[in-house]
Amino acid sequence: MKTMQAYRYALDLTAVQERAVLAHAGAARVAYNWSLARVKTVMDQRTAERSYGIGEVDLTPAVGWSLPALRKAWNQAKSDVAPWWAECSKEAFNTGLDALTRALRNWSDSRCGKRAGRPVGFPRFKSRRRSTPSVRFTTGAIRVEPDRKHVVLPRLGRLKLHESARKLARRLDAGSARILSATVRRDGGRWQVSFCVEVDRPQRTPARPEATVGVDVGVKHLAVLSTGELVANPCHVDCAARRMRRLARRMSRRTGPDRRTGREPSNRWEVARARVAGAHARVANLRRDGLHKLTTRLAREYGTIVVEDLNVAGLLRNGRLARYVADAGFAELRRQLAYKIEWSGGRLVVADRWYPSSKTCSGCGTVKAKLALSERTYTCTTCGLVLDRDVNAARNLAALAHEVTDARSGRESSNGRGADRKTRPGGPVAVKRQPGTAPAGKTGTVSPQGGTADHGLTYAS
């Protein structure tokens, strides 16, 4: 199975090498800003001509947004725009042009309704101080040295790694991996190189292929499994909040930059800013490390994992929970599970966003009309079940992995997938069960029109 995988390593650059990398990143920014100004000027000119009543045929010719068109225009004008262009690799300018192409495409698709999610605005110019220095290499000499402590990149030469690249080197030596590109980027005050690699991964099987686990994420506990295991939330932001506040106050007391007066920042402000960035980067690294360890363990052990489709954007609008939700990293946990369980040969089931996992009793299937967020213990008034709220939700999620039979076609379909907020027309058909027992693998009712409807309904005895 061939997949795309990234290997990221920290770099230990010398002063000369850092200046060379910054020059390449600056070249990418110059190409991006020049091309964006050219596209924006033509668009504004065409808009003004339309307001004057000029016909579409007589308008100023439009500028192409594709990467070949932008690259052709840049090559024709680079001698006048950037006389120093020969000092940097052509990949540096291609990095900025490719970023502009993708930004314009995303903006256009968002306006036309082809792109889901939040509306994407028109691209903005990149600032030397506020943008993240980055350059991407796709051609030329890109390799890992035999000592596995150095990498070679075009025009930058031999760069020292902070740690060994033995995992990537072993795959390259075995012929099971091929480097497609390398990106050098400054993140949190540290320079890092990221290799995009095409890896031929062997087919694997989870340790328990028949086992199913439901994962209920939350703030009090990072994850609660249907097995009863509680994964503690480390709350990295809370642990580092005191130090981050102190460093931020120290930076605010220094002389920082001012665009209005053209004031340059002092050296002490630069040092303070680097420390603030390092503190934030450490929190991000700790969060990423914990999520990787959790998702790797789950993907390697269980054959089927069930998670919820949470409205994280809506949760972030809650002023009391926004910081804790952002610190937990719900979206990152699901993203890592999605590709890791594919590598391990398992299956990922995503519960519908409107599935009442917390309101449903995992013992008898009764659904409560209301359940306050402050009620941390689920108490069923029908069967008398008393259980932790999150464990009850995780058990209901695990039940979604079972198969149910479609009432109309007789085919098997995954329960809970594709359900909407309301029961389908025609009314539900109750699932019969023995009194006092839970529905075997069924957490909803089957609609006569096909599919499932499992919202706000109880099972018939």
299 and 387 belong to one structural domain: no
What local confidence, expressed as pLDDT, does residue 125 receive? Answer: 96
State if pTM tops 0.85.
Answer: no
What integer pLDDT is reported at residue 365 of this predicted model?
A: 86
- For residue 163, being part of any structural domain is answered with yes
The one-letter code for the residue type at 331 is A
Q: Say what the pLDDT of residue 118 is.
A: 85
Q: How far is residue 285's CA from residue 291's CA, in Å, rounded to a whole number?
A: 10
Whether 173 and 41 share a structural domain:
no
**What per-residue string of b and e applies to 163-180 under the rule 16 or more CB within 10 Å gives b?**
eebeebbebbeeeebebe
Assess whether 158 and 10 both reside in one domain. yes
Whole-number pLDDT of residue 302: 94
Is 308 one of the annotated active-site residues of the chain?
A: yes
* Residue range(s) defining the domain that contains residue 81: 16-112
Q: Is there a single domain that holds both residue 269 and residue 383? A: no
In a domain, 293, yes or no: yes
How many domains is the chain built from? 4
In a domain, 459, yes or no: no
Cα separation, 264 vs 266, in Å, equals: 7
Last residue of a domain, one of 336, 351, 366: 351
Residue 357 located in a structural domain? no
Residue 387 lies in a domain: yes
Could you please report the per-residue DSSP string of 282-296? HHHHHHHHHHHHHHH
Marked catalytic residue, from 308, 327, 352, 454: 308
Catalytic residue among 98, 352, 390, 454: 390
Q: Are residues 326 and 347 in the same domain?
A: yes
Same domain for 333 and 241, yes or no, is yes
Whether 123 is covered by a domain: the verdict is: no
Q: Residues 27, 103: one domain?
A: yes
Report pLDDT for 454: 36
Average pLDDT for consecutive 10-residue bins of the chain (461 residues)?
92 96 96 96 93 89 92 95 94 96 95 90 92 94 94 95 95 94 92 95 90 92 92 92 95 91 92 93 94 95 92 87 91 93 91 88 87 88 88 90 48 43 36 37 34 32 30
- The answer on 151 and 7 residing in a single domain is yes
Instruction: Please tell me whether residues 417 and 441 are part of one structural domain.
Output: yes
Within a domain: residue 126?
Answer: no
Is position 145 annotated as part of the catalytic site? no
The structure tokens 């969060």 sit at: 287
Q: Which of 335, 351, 367 is the last residue of a domain?
A: 351
Annotated active-site residue in 98, 216, 327, 352: 216
Asked if residue 117 belongs to a domain, the reply is: no
What DSSP character marks residue 127? P
Same domain, residue pair 250 and 332: yes
Active site residue 390: yes
pLDDT at 415: 43
Tell me which of 333, 351, 369 is where a domain ends. Answer: 351
> Do both 9 and 146 map to the same domain?
yes
User: Same domain, yes or no, for 288 and 341?
Assistant: yes
